[in-house]
Structure 1
Amino acid sequence: MNEALATRLVPDRLWALVEPQLPEFRLRRQGGGTAPTDERAVFAAVVFVLTSGCPWRMLPPTFGVTVPTAHRRFMVWSRAGSWRRLHRVVAVQHRGDETMAWAYEIVTAATRRAEIRH
């Protein structure tokens, strides 16, 4: 994945807040498939889709994440309530810290889109 793109969409400070909010990745029971994908890369791909309006099927290969993986993880995170929890956590961090404004905007847009798409 293009590290500059990932860092821009999901800065280190945002990722530090995001990572604990995401359910632990588990291999699917049916087996097969590929090795687990980098969670930050998946999150960046999902954020891109949710904030850009890009259809899932048009997810650029730059992210290094397949469309089914990104969409599946988005659904798992949505069902687990990760978006709402993350929004609350980032909102608290954003208060009085203007450097978190971009992270707050990303998470707000993603949360709204997640609620619509889920």
Structure 2
Amino acid sequence: HLLVDRRGTPLAVQLSGANAHDSTVFAELLDAVPAVRQPRGRPRKRPGKLHADKGYDYRKCRVALRRRGIKCRIARRGIESSQRLGRHRWVVERTFAWLNRFRRVRVRYERRDDIHLAFTWFACALITWRAVKRFC
């Protein structure tokens, strides 16, 4: 599971089994976002709004967002994807394509979750470094 900002920079990564539904790790994924440091004031810990695909269209996901003060922008099941809320999915799909450029992440050679998660975080760090490098 992957949480990205509007430019596709990875913010949080969570591993789960292939037989686990997306909505089961949603709250853990939200809590995994690190605080953003700002020059003054309280640090912003959570995004203002969150776009999600139809896999997260459940009441407990909406309640988890409301409890954290995040505006809910989850695509509805039964509505065409290209309309309205489903059109923001390309940002996450592009980030998955960036992650698939790393063979060690695309093909899982490791049996242990912690090693695979470490390689995934390393790939996310390289993606973030490439995004920051453009501004320097």
Same fold (TM over 0.5): no
More strand by share: 2
Which is greater in Rg? 2
Q: Given the two structures, how large is their TM-score scaled by the length of structure 1? A: 0.31
Query: Greater RCO between the two (CA within 8 Å, min separation 6)?
Result: 1
